[in-house]
A and B are shown apart, each in its own frame.
Chain A
Amino acid sequence: MTRGLSVVRPGMLTTVQDLGRWGFQASGVPVAGPMDEYSHRLANRLVGNLPSAAALEITLIGPELLAHGEVTCAVAGATFELTVGGSSVPMHVPFTLHAGDRLKFGARRAGARAALAVKGGFDVPAVFGSRSTSLISAMGPFDGRALKAGDLLPIAPVTTIVSSGSASVASVPLPLPAGGATVRVIPGPQLSFFTPQAYDTLFTSRYLITPHSNRMGYRLAGPALQHAGRADILSDATPLGTLQVPASGQPILLMADRQTTGGYPKIGVVIGADLPLAGQLAPGDWIEFAPCTRQTAVEALRRRQQWLGGQR
């Protein structure tokens, strides 16, 4: 490997992700992709990559990485103390590693997940057109598993320059949750499967993210959401951010590695603009929900796009 990063210590759960594996959900293939797509896009933008470049998603405890050759990096998302050879480097600003430099992720101060992008993107094999890792399906680079010590992450030669003055881009880091977050939800599609009280409860209660939560989804604990009748539907597709409610009344928030179909009624779906915030939550955090229309949801997404400097 002439240029790239090697894994000295992998951290708790570090995976390669791009914008997800689209086009195969009809065959049961999960989309995967980053839990916080905003920070993934931001990190890529800071190093001058297209948003689709493969980056690392880092979870709770970060890795130690060794540079082979010169590597320009940027980290966005959860606030980590970053050091290179003992000197600290800032988040949300590109920095360059020289051959032999070790980038260490130290203490985490806020949020749960960070994106590490390298200029050129990681040149690892694509599976079904994507470099995202679906742990549940074992699909993706490194046989669809999390990174281990000794893994090599080559970097593609830089052929696509999006912006040379990436440090001058006014990009806004994602505001991070402090103990929890409120996310907006578009009610439905199984509106008739829930009582009006269920919606009142959903929008006025606080839920806890239980330890049974991971990239597939968050199991929430809190006031039960009441079904109008039965608690199952004939299986259909489950978009990212779906809040599905089994018979127990305890909702499950479906996240990046969710299965493509499900048989529980869906009380609502978290809006795209708030999914990155949801992706920054960890077990022990609280989550609350607020109703939202699709129109407001799209406006919020457009504002987020402006924060990224308009790149899509």
Chain B
Amino acid sequence: MGPFKIHSAGDAAVVVELPEAIDPEINAWCVALSRTLTTNLGTIARDVVIGYCSVTVFFDPIGVDAQWLEAEIAECAATTDVSTVIGGGAVEVPVCYGGDGGPDLADVAAFAGCSEAEAIALHASREYRVYLVGFVPGFAYMAEVDPRIAAPRRSSPRTSVPAGSVAIAGGQTGVYPSVTPGGWNIIGRTPLKPFDAARAEPFLFKPGDRVRFRRLDECECGRA
């Protein structure tokens, strides 16, 4: 585990940064630190946000002394132990791959130099870690996608991506929770809702969760 650094991000946020990498152990440390800070700081932290390899604490600079806060954070960080982290939950995402819901599957297969069926298998055969949630409510950044199908972001983003779209951009994969513009490669659609304000647990994914995608057959997709 590399050394952490603490920086101010303006006058109302402090960032703890680890060496930049998409690394499960680094992210697990961030999850552990985030939980410790949330518990120890209580309402002093207005928000605690995890990034791939960072934790940002938001606070009110009138009520809270920034240097005191940084010292508290440093103390928590120095004693953060990844082994204390209880692993995240397991989430299964059923997917209708290809067809109208997966307009970019052919491009991803072409990128990989394989058939669409093989590309699907490569996506569905891995367990992904949720590293952070951001962009829109409930959008989970998951990694790492098999390098063979890790097609880069599209050069022209779509102005509107349907909710439930399952997509790939480089080593990342994710599910669009709502209709938004988007530049990722859309390979399928899930009936799951990553964000549902009316649900008891509104957000389906959180950092540290382990995600698997399960291919639905033609019948289940209503295409048979």
Contact = CB atoms under 8 A, between A and B. Distances in A.
Binding between chains A and B:
yes
Interface of A: 22-29, 31, 127-128, 136-139, 186, 188-189, 233-237, 239-242, 259-262, 266, 268-272, 294, 297-298, 301-302, 305, 312
B24 interface: no
B51 interface: yes
Contacts of B139: 28
Interface of B: 7-13, 15, 17, 20-22, 34, 46-54, 56, 58, 61-63, 66, 132-139, 141, 178, 195, 197, 202-203, 206-207
Question: Which of B48, B61, B63 has the most A CB atoms < 10 Å from its CB?
Answer: B61
B13 A237 contact: yes
Contacts, number: 138
A27 B201 CA distance: 12
Contact of B51 (A186, A234, A312): A234
B12 A28 contact: no
B59 to A, nearest CB: 11
B11 A186 contact: yes
B50 A26 contact: yes
A22 B60 CA distance: 12
Contact of B61 (A28, A261, A298): A298
Contacts of A268: 10
Contact of B12 (A127, A272, A302): A272
A235 B8 CA distance: 17
Contacts of B137: 24, 27-29, 137, 139
Given A188-B8, A260-B49, A239 B56 contact: yes
Contacts of B206: 26-27
A284 to B, nearest CB: 25
Given A266-B9, A298-B61, A261 B46 contact: no
Question: Which of B15, B134, B139 has the most A CB atoms < 10 Å from its CB?
Answer: B134
Contacts of A189: 7-9, 15, 17
Nearest to A22: B46
B8 A236 contact: no
A297 B51 CA distance: 26
Given A28-B133, A127-B197, A301-B61, A236 B10 contact: no
Contacts of A272: 10-12, 61
Nearest to B139: A28
A160 to B, nearest CB: 20
30 contacts: A26-B49, A27-B138, A27-B206, A28-B134, A138-B178, A139-B137, A139-B197, A186-B11, A188-B7, A188-B8, A189-B9, A189-B15, A234-B51, A234-B53, A235-B51, A235-B134, A235-B141, A236-B15, A237-B54, A237-B58, A239-B13, A239-B58, A240-B12, A261-B51, A261-B135, A270-B10, A271-B10, A272-B10, A272-B11, A312-B63
